[in-house]
Structure 1
Amino acid sequence: MRIGILTGGGDVPGLNPCIRSITLTADDLGWEVTGFRRGWQGFLEIDPDDSASIANGSLPLTREGVRGIDRMGGTILHTSRTDPRTVEGGDRTGQVLKVLDALGIDAMVTLGGDGTLRFSAHLAAQGVPVISVPKTMDNDVFGTDYCIGFSTAVSRSVEAINALRTTIESHERIGVIELFGRRSGETALLAGFLAQVDRTIIAEAPADLDVLLPLLAEDKASNPANYAVCVISEGASIAGRKEDDADLSRSATQRDDRGIGQQLGREIEERLGSGTVIQELAYLMRAGEPDAMDRMVGFAFGGLAVQLLQRGEKARMVTLSDGNYAHVPIDTLLHGTKSVDVTGLYDRSTYRAKLMRVEGMPMFLY
């Protein structure tokens, strides 16, 4: 049995522990493992008749070769956001199938977010045995409670928010800290709650400045240190302003306008007359080694993926559901969207997280 592994989409801490787990579990079974570089893009760059391109786009993964990678952030396989169906020149699914056949790959384990796993489901529909592993620091893959990278992103954010308090307080300003989260505000919600910031703006609930700004002014005035802190999701919006979905889908460097954190900061300065500290945490949220949670889930997801293949399962996505490891059909993520339960977890009127329910909820996953 020869299995292939790839990582696609944005890098997150926890991918390397998962790669190591897959490799070791497969090695215990006597299986061979091939890693594909640069996600699905790597497949498009491989010429099966050219050994040099094969060596450039793939590498054998061995027990010795993955030693110690669990302590590293990012992904040793590197990554891309390529979907072979939407590249210039048309659908390249056939090229992916050709490479798999030429290299003798019997099954694929794919680690990615929504985009990577959508193509994984497409490939499974073509008859390729595929097990997908959800990863994204936004934690927004439908069908699982948890995605690799979420815990570390929250931990990094809380550390940064609390560190920034020293500057915000020293200058007696209002801090606006923007976190990644284009479609889901879960990372901002949890980080804001754990850091106990004054207000948190999430992607699912537009901010009414006539309500929010007076609250921030009161937060600052009532604080003996005369400062306030607000966390805002990258994908948040200001009520009454039309958002450009096409612009939001672009990376931060490709957008035409200021980020939402900069927009809010400008409104605070103009309407409240208060100085601000504006900070986009951006890639720092996904930088560095994984925390204990993402190492644990990475190891567990990787082991489960191989176990499923061992017993003949295919076209499945590994998941965490109510605190238990499980798996669902690989196309589950196509049938819904995952976002913050605003009614249960967020108070729109105060822009704060709320704990409406605790009993019976799984640890950490709210």
Structure 2
Amino acid sequence: MRIGILTGGGDVPGLNPCIRSVTLSAIDLGWEVIGFRRGWQGVLAIDPDDPASVAAGTLRLDREAVRGIDRMGGTILHTSRTDPRTLEEGDRTAHVLHVLDRLGVEAMVTLGGDGTLRFSAHLSSLGFPVISIPKTMDNDVFGTDYCIGFSTAISRSVEAINALRTTIESHERIGVIELFGRRSGETALLSGFLAQVDRTIISEVPADPAVLLPLLVADRRSRPAGYAVCVISEGASLVGEDHADERHRAASHRTMLTVGRRLAQVIEREARVGTVVQDLAYLMRAGEPDAMDRMVGFAFGGLAVQLIQQRQTGRMVTLTSGRYHHVPADTLLGGTKLVDVPNLYDATCYRAKLQRIEGMPMFLY
């Protein structure tokens, strides 16, 4: 049997351990594994009648090809943000199926976020065997409690926030630290909680400067060192602004200041306090995976191959209530995964809320 594997969307630590796990699990069954470079974009670029095109768009995965990659961040297969159904030239799903057929690929394992896995669900609906593996540092794929990359993003963020305290404190300012998270504020919520910052602004709840600024000023005055720290999601909004379209664009496509910098301007103008502004951005997803993302990457990869072996395709592997499971591949189409604000967030004081612990899920599911 020959299976294919690709990574799409933003890179995250934990993809390479998953690629290694899929490859070694398949080889143990006597299968071949072909990696597609640059996600669905790479598949679209392949002309199966042109050997040079096939060589440029694929990578044969064997034991030597995946040796040691679990210690590396990013993805050896590279990635792209491409949905073959939404191109200027029209829907090219037929070309994808043609390439897979001509290359003898009998099943696909796709690692991606919402966009990549939506197309995977589409292929599954057409009858092509697919196993989807959710990955996103924002942890926002609907249908799973955990996505590859989330834990490392939190670890990187907490380290950076605590390191920045030295500069913020030295200058007795208010620190505004912006984290990735366009739709979901879970990354900011958990990072802010673990770093024990003063206030955290999430994507789901607009921040009212008239309420937030007095809190930050009071936080700064209450501390002998004379500083305060605020974490904010990149997708957050400030009351009185109308930037809904802007905040959901990719960072490279935005035409205005980030919400963190806009908040800092309001602080300096209204509260008359200096700020330190830092966008952690791609540093959150840089470097090697932590223990959690290595473990989940290995487990998701192994489960994907087991499902193909059992002919249970058209599935998305998940972590649910702390256990590995799988659900229909189109489950992610059924909703939007956001922070459970009533149970996990106090919108009146902009902080994580942990009033009830018993029976609650662990933040890192």
Fold shared per TM-score above 0.5: yes
Counterparts of 1:114 and 1:316, CA distance in 2: 14
Counterparts of 2:223 and 2:355, CA distance in 1: 26
2:280 matched residue in structure 1: 281
CA contact (8 A) 1:265 1:276 kept: yes
Counterparts of 1:84 and 1:77, CA distance in 2: 18
Pairing 1:224–2:204 present: no
SS of 1:55's equivalent in the other structure is helix
**Mapping of 1:38-77 within 5 angstroms?**
38-77=38-77
RMSD over aligned CA atoms reads 0.9
Q: Which amino acid aligns with 1:308?
A: L
**Mapping of 1:1-366 within 5 angstroms?**
1-245=1-245, 247-365=246-364
Counterparts of 2:363 and 2:272, CA distance in 1: 39
SS of 1:177's equivalent in the other structure is strand
CA contact (8 A) 1:323 1:365 kept: no
1:363 Cα shift? 4.0
Counterparts of 1:342 and 1:365, CA distance in 2: 17
Q: Which amino acid aligns with 1:269?
A: E
Counterparts of 1:158 and 1:207, CA distance in 2: 22
Counterparts of 1:46 and 1:356, CA distance in 2: 54
Counterparts of 2:17 and 2:326, CA distance in 1: 19
SS of 1:94's equivalent in the other structure is helix
Measured against aligned partners, the alpha-carbon deviations of 1:233-283 in whole angstroms (never above 9, x if no partner) come to: 0000011221232x2332222211100000000000000111100000000
Counterparts of 1:192 and 1:365, CA distance in 2: 14
1:53 Cα shift? 0.6
Counterparts of 1:271 and 1:40, CA distance in 2: 48
Give the count of matched residue pairs.
365
1:207 Cα shift? 0.2
CA contact (8 A) 2:186 2:338 kept: yes
CA contact (8 A) 1:40 1:80 kept: yes
Measured against aligned partners, the alpha-carbon deviations of 1:94-122 in whole angstroms (never above 9, x if no partner) come to: 11001000100000000000000000000
CA contact (8 A) 1:134 1:141 kept: yes
Runs of 4+ in 1 over 6 A off after TM superposition: none
CA contact (8 A) 1:322 1:361 kept: no
Counterparts of 1:356 and 1:14, CA distance in 2: 32
Measured against aligned partners, the alpha-carbon deviations of 1:269-325 in whole angstroms (never above 9, x if no partner) come to: 000111100000000000000000000000000000000000110100000000000
Counterparts of 1:27 and 1:253, CA distance in 2: 40
Counterparts of 1:243 and 1:145, CA distance in 2: 29
Go from structure 1 to structure 2 and tell me whether the alpha carbon gap of 1:364 and 1:255 turns closer, same or farther (over 3 Å shift): closer
1:364 Cα shift? 4.5
Q: Which amino acid aligns with 2:202?
A: I
CA contact (8 A) 2:151 2:364 kept: no
Structure 2, gaps ≥5 residues long: none
CA contact (8 A) 2:136 2:150 kept: yes
CA contact (8 A) 1:177 1:232 kept: yes
**TM-score, normalisation: structure 2:** 0.99
